[in-house]
């Protein structure tokens, strides 16, 4: 139970996190002897989120620079909010997990693979985006890829055996896509859900917290309120942190 060491760490110990970009930067505890006392240096686990952003033709003009700044600002804010929730709710406010945005590039495609049927008028087909993502120059040091769309996205749902619209889609491994990203409100809540899948969590029955009326984070349904962390969700992060 190494993480407990954080909460119990006596005053005067140093806490630091490094900024090395490694595929999986290990959390480590170094003990350095001084002439007064042992000093523990606790390192945060760094997760590098590789961001591909795509935006519609109309933005590819003089506005492009401004829009790019908007997107980057929104992504940075989302990661900061998600990180804060995790560290506050799971690690007692310590900086145990750090989410770093890595802006790869504007991903331009002349034609995104689209899907439509009698229920879905038009949506990017997420299932066909994943092989395209594999063919992109994937960078080292990225833990999770995040592809942002301005359009709706759809994916094949095994349970209902049909294509479904989705706000966010997680693909096996480490790929996430978000639809209508610039319009999404509180996107960090959706990201926290997808990070749960990344930590191998499945959907759980939807339950409301009786006091706050927040919905559990691994509930599949969209819900207007906020999310709350369940014991299993917190455990997944603690286990991840301990593995380093
Ligand atoms: Zn889900």
pLDDT of residue 104: 82
Q: By C-alpha distance, which of 61, 237, 189, 79 is closest to 144?
A: 79
Rounded distance from Cα 183 to ligand 1 centre (Å): 20
Ligand 1 centroid–CA 189 distance in Å is 12
Of residues 3 and 82, the one with the higher pLDDT is 82
Identify the CATH number of the domain defined by range 4-243. 3.40.390.10
Q: What pLDDT sits at residue 207?
A: 93
Backbone angles phi, psi at 194, to 5 degrees: -65, -35
Structure tokens at 149: 């769309």
| pLDDT, position 236 | 98
**pLDDT of 218:** 96
Separation of 175 CA from ligand 1 center, angstroms? 13
Residue 230: what pLDDT?
Answer: 96
Cα of 235 from ligand 1 centre, angstroms: 18
pLDDT grade for 37, boundaries at 50, 70 and 90: very low
In this predicted structure, what is the pLDDT of residue 65?
A: 58
Mean pLDDT of all residues belonging to the chain:
81
**Distance between Cα 118 and ligand 1 center (Å):** 24
166: confidence class by pLDDT, cuts 50, 70, 90? very high
Reported as a single tens digit per residue, the pLDDT across 204-221 is 999 999 888 899 999 998
Residue 190 to residue 99: CA distance in whole angstroms? 15
CA distance 185 to 203: 22
CA–CA dist 119, 141 (Å, integer):
40
Give 211 Cα–ligand 1 centroid separation in angstroms.
24
Tell me, in angstroms, the distance from the centre of ligand 1 to residue 87's CA: 21
Separation between Cα atoms, residue 60 and residue 71, nearest integer Å: 14
Min mean pLDDT across 1-5, 137-141, 159-163, 223-227 is at: 1-5
Residue 72 token pair = 């980057």
pLDDT of residue 34: 41
pTM of the model as a whole: 0.79
CA of 193 to the centre of ligand 1 (A): 6
Distance 204 CA to ligand 1 centre (A): 9
Q: What is the pLDDT of residue 5?
A: 40
Taking the centre of ligand 1 as the mean of its atom positions, its distance from the CA of residue 170, in whole angstroms, is 7
Q: How far apart are CA 40 and CA 33, in angstroms?
A: 9
Beta strand 97-106 with 114-115 is unpaired
Q: How far is the CA of 220 from the centre of ligand 1 (A)?
A: 5
Q: Which residues pair with 42 in a beta bridge?
A: 15, 29
3 CA to centre of ligand 1 in angstroms: 27
pLDDT of residue 39: 37
Q: How far is the CA of 197 from the centre of ligand 1 (A)?
A: 7
User: Ligand 1 centroid vs 165 CA: distance in angstroms?
Assistant: 13
Domain boundaries, the chain: 4-243
pLDDT the model gives residue 14: 33
Q: How many angstroms does the Cα of residue 201 sit away from the middle of ligand 1?
A: 9
24 alpha carbon – ligand 1 mean position (Å): 24
CA 217 – ligand 1 centroid, Å: 9
């Amino acid at each position: 139970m190494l993480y407990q060491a954080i909460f119990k760490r006596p005053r005067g110990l140093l806490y630091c996190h490094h900024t090395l970009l490694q595929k999986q930067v290990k959390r480590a505890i170094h003990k350095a002897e001084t002439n007064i006392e042992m000093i523990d240096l606790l390192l945060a686990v760094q997760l590098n989120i590789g961001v591909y952003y795509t935006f519609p033709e109309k933005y590819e003009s003089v506005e492009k620079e401004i829009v790019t700044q908007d997107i980057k600002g929104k992504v940075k804010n989302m990661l900061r909010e998600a990180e804060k929730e995790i560290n506050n709710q799971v690690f007692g406010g310590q900086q145990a997990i750090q989410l770093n945005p890595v802006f790869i590039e504007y991903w331009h495609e002349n034609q995104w693979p689209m899907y439509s049927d009698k229920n879905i008028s038009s949506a990017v087909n997420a299932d066909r985006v994943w092989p395209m993502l594999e063919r992109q120059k994937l960078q080292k040091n990225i833990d999770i890829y995040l592809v942002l769309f301005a359009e709706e996205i759809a994916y094949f749902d095994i349970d209902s055996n049909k294509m479904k619209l989705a706000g966010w889609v997680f693909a096996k491994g480490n790929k996430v896509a978000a639809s209508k990203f610039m319009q999404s409100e509180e996107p960090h809540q959706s990201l926290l859900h997808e990070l749960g899948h990344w930590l191998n969590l499945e959907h759980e029955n939807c339950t409301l917290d009786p006091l706050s009326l927040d919905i559990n984070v691994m509930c599949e349904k969209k819900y207007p309120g906020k999310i709350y962390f369940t014991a299993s969700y917190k455990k997944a992060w603690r286990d991840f942190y301990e593995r380093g």
